[in-house]
Amino acid sequence: MESVFEVIAEPSRRAILSLLAGSEQSVGEIEQRLQMSQSAVSKHLRVLREAGFVEASVDAQRRLYRLRLEPLKEVDRWLEPFRQFWEAHVDALERHLDQMEQAERMKGRDQSQRRGSHSARNTK
């Protein structure tokens, strides 16, 4: 579980992060709000903590967890080169429109085998 991407692949962990974006929370509060078992919460928090997504401060027997931003920034940085594609302007506009159009009709997308289809359009 080294990479930030693996860490946020888990829905429960993303939920925890979103929750902490609102305000810091104790383990018990997270448990309650997200309806998960205490051990599950603690384990996810451990993963998040070790990856730097959260940090805890001690309040008596409780740990108050709050967000840390660095790992999220890392995700953001990974996204950068791609973001260019949809933030870019005029010159590449055609290609991007094409992609967005594809996105629109992506709804019922399925790649069946098309047996007997003679659509062989070569001409590379």
Report the interface residues with a second copy, using CB under 8 A: 3, 5-6, 8-9, 11, 14, 17-18, 21-24, 26, 28-29, 31-32, 49, 52, 55, 58-60, 66-70, 72-73, 75-76, 78-79, 81-83, 85-86, 95-96, 98-100, 102-103, 106-107, 109-111, 113, 116-118, 121-122, 124
Residue 66, strand partner residues: 55
In whole angstroms, the minimum distance from the beta carbon of 58 to a second copy comes to 8
Give, in degrees to the nearest 5, the angle at Cα 66 between 61 and 71. 135
Strand segments, DSSP code E, in 1-124 are 25-26, 54-59, 62-67
Token reading at 6: 């693996």
28 binds DNA (CB under 7 A): yes
In whole angstroms, the minimum distance from the beta carbon of 108 to DNA comes to 17
User: Within 13 Å, how many C-alpha atoms sit on residue 33's CB side?
Assistant: 16
Nearer to DNA, 89 or 107 (CB): 107
26 binds DNA (CB under 7 A): yes
Q: What are phi and psi of 13, to 5 degrees?
A: -70, -40
Q: What are phi and psi of 66, to 5 degrees?
A: -140, 165
Residues near DNA (CB under 7 A):
1, 6, 9-10, 12, 26-28, 31, 36-47, 56, 58, 60-63, 111, 113-115, 117-120, 122
